């Protein structure tokens, strides 16, 4: 079985993936794969965005010649066309990497967890059997995000707005969605997952 563990910011996706990994699932974080994809596709990214970055006075490379992901994000955020270009560059790499991970672990008889926020945007959804959607009230998520990431209120609210249609986007895939509320302790979350797996 391949599960996509998803949900809005600070809902507890990482915690759920970690618990499932301890239960024997092979887990992979698509965000981490995405970071690798940016570096692996560095040349294409520079070709696509260097001119715009120069106009905006934004440096895309650090002193070691690596992409500064925060600066790249600042450049493309709020520009749907740029976001689409960046996704067209990195998503094929992410899909290919996830495919290899899923296939090798399934061949070994392991269940797999793909921890991802926007997997629905990629072709990797075709490997997914079920979606585990982790949710939590907005106010609780807000305080979690502020404590965990040290983000400013405006940044958190902007991220929340950007994810407002997340559930609908996963519904549109037609894959079965199982919702889990993460409002209590880690132990209660673990019990909920154990019951769910049974």
Alpha helices of 7-163 — where are they, by DSSP H?
Answer: 13-22, 30-40, 42-56, 69-76, 80-107, 138-149, 153-162
Mean pLDDT by 10 residues, the chain (198 residues): 96 95 96 94 96 94 93 90 96 97 97 97 96 94 86 87 94 96 89 87
The predicted structure's pLDDT at residue 146:
87
Phi then psi dihedrals of residue 185, to 5 deg? -85, 170
- What is the reported pTM? 0.90
Residues 123 and 146: their CA atoms lie apart, in Å, by 32
The whole-number pLDDT of residue 181 equals 92
- What pLDDT is recorded for position 76? 93
pLDDT at res. 61: 95
């Amino acid at each position: 079985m391949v599960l996509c563990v998803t949900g809005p910011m600070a809902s507890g996706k990482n915690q759920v993936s970690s618990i499932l990994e301890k239960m024997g699932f092979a887990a992979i974080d698509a965000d981490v794969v995405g970071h690798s994809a940016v570096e692996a596709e560095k040349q294409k990214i520079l070709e696509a965005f260097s001119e715009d970055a120069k106009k905006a006075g934004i440096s895309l490379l650090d002193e070691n010649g690596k992409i500064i992901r925060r600066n790249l994000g600042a450049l493309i955020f709020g520009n749907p066309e740029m976001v689409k270009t960046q996704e067209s560059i990195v998503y094929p790499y992410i899909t290919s990497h996830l495919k290899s991970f899923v296939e090798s672990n399934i061949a070994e008889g392991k269940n797999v967890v793909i921890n991802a926020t926007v997997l629905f945007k990629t072709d990797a959804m075709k490997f997914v059997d079920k979606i585990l959607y982790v949710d939590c009230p907005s106010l609780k998520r807000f305080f979690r995000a502020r404590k965990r990431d040290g983000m400013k209120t405006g940044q958190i609210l902007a991220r929340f707005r950007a994810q407002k249609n997340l559930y609908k986007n996963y519904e549109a895939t037609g894959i079965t969605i199982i919702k889990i509320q993460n409002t209590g302790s880690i132990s209660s979350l673990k019990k909920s997952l154990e019951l769910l797996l049974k």
